[in-house]
Amino acid sequence: MFAPARMVAGFALLACLGMCHARVLHQSVSASDYSTQSNTFVGSSTRVEGVTTAASASACIDSCVADMNCLYWSWCPANETAGCTVPGLLGGADTTVPASGCVLSYDDIPNRTSQYVVSGDDVAFVGGSYGATNTAPAAGSAAAANSTDPANWIQSGTPPECAGILSGNFGNQWSGDEIECHVCDGEYQLKCDLDTDIIGDDSIKCNFDKAGLGAIVNNAYDFDCVVDFAKTPQNQCDWEAISGRVPTCAVEPVRRILATWKPNE
């Protein structure tokens, strides 16, 4: 479907039929009617209201739902501090969307729906369209790392940041009730403990700080995650809050570690 362009990115400008139709019965539309694709920009010929900001991909979808015409949405993750680039169409100039930017669009020509799609590991956007089907990225891939679904961050085995002498995990603490992991080439450490003191209110208590002597002058970040053994992942954290507090280099590994860890007493 996509023509090769700029390494792993691809694009398509096409007239869609079937699932890419114009929205009708606005009152029946909900966020579940829109697909979500990692490493993907989806747009069309007419923007709803230029580039707005949204705190999350879900908030960007909600903005699309609220507009009668909106068929396509694309969001630049908040941790993409340099912004996200949309390659120019047919030789046109590239466009940079700032971090947290939400681009909503549709085709305003009757009886036609044009769609512009850019996808690949180098595409930082998360995007989707009305009436399309979600496709889950493969676990451990770059698409999974940028996914908005925490279940896609789970990896198999012990994360390398939490194994070995550097991480202090003597006796394989990963399978127990506490972990110590080092991220950003060992510059920062994440320590978490399972807290089951209150019956029916299990949680993990975590501390993120500079490693070694750096912790003396650094302001540590402490946070809790509710543990729900019936959910995936079982550590139900405030992912947006964590992503906003830890350094950019730590966002992906910290989310992956917390989504993967299954603490046991």
Per-residue pLDDT of 75-121, as tens digits, reads 999 989 999 998 887 778 888 999 999 999 998 888 777 888 988 88
Residue 265 lies in a domain: no
- Confidence (pTM): 0.47
| One domain for residues 23 and 125 | yes
Residue 61 lies in a domain: yes
pLDDT per residue over 208-217, tens digit each? 999 877 666 6
Q: Is 200 helix (H, G, I), strand (E, B) or coil?
A: coil
Q: Among 93, 123, 148, where does a domain finish?
A: 148
Please state, for a pLDDT cut of 90, what percent of the chain lies above it: 32
pLDDT in the model for residue 259: 93
Residue 246 lies in a domain: yes
| One domain for residues 245 and 125 | no
- Residues 178, 196: contact at Cβ < 8 Å? no
Spatial separation of the C-alpha atoms in residues 181 and 205, rounded to whole Å: 14
Spatial separation of the C-alpha atoms in residues 9 and 122, rounded to whole Å: 7
Helix, strand, coil shares of the chain, percent, nearest 5, are 25, 30, 45
Q: Among 117, 148, 179, where does a domain finish?
A: 148
Q: How many CA atoms lie within 13 A of 162 on its CB side?
A: 24
Q: Concatenated DSSP letters for 41-93?
A: EEE-SEEEEEEEE-SSHHHHHHHHHHSTT--EEEE--TT-TT-EEEPPGGGPP
Edge-to-edge strand list for the sheet holding 178-183: 178-183, 188-195, 203-210, 221-227, 235-236
Residue 226 lies in a domain: yes
Tokens of 147: 């996914």
Spatial separation of the C-alpha atoms in residues 163 and 159, rounded to whole Å: 7
| One domain for residues 88 and 123 | yes
- What is the number of structural domains in the chain? 2
Q: Concatenated DSSP letters for 208-238?
A: EEESGGGGGTS--EEEEEEE-TTSSSSEE--
| One domain for residues 123 and 159 | no
| One domain for residues 11 and 109 | yes
| One domain for residues 122 and 165 | no
| One domain for residues 126 and 168 | no
Q: Is 5 helix (H, G, I), strand (E, B) or coil?
A: strand
Q: How many residues does the chain have?
A: 265
Residue 211 lies in a domain: yes
Quickly state the pLDDT bin for 145 (edges 50, 70, 90).
low
| One domain for residues 95 and 121 | yes
Q: Among 148, 179, 197, where does a domain finish?
A: 148
Residue 193 lies in a domain: yes
Tokens of 101: 């930017």
Reply yes or no on whether the pLDDT at 33 is more than 90: no
Q: In which domain, by residue range, is 167 found?
A: 155-260
Residue 19 lies in a domain: yes
| One domain for residues 195 and 239 | yes
Spatial separation of the C-alpha atoms in residues 210 and 40, rounded to whole Å: 34
| One domain for residues 141 and 29 | yes
Residue 62 lies in a domain: yes
Which residues are CB-contacts of 52 (< 8 A; sequence separation ≥ 6)?
A: 63, 101, 102, 104
| One domain for residues 169 and 191 | yes
Quickly state the pLDDT bin for 167 (edges 50, 70, 90).
very low
- Residues 145, 256: contact at Cβ < 8 Å? yes
| One domain for residues 23 and 96 | yes
Tokens of 85: 């680039």
Q: Please count the other Cβ atoms lying within 10 Å of the Cβ belonging to residue 105.
A: 24
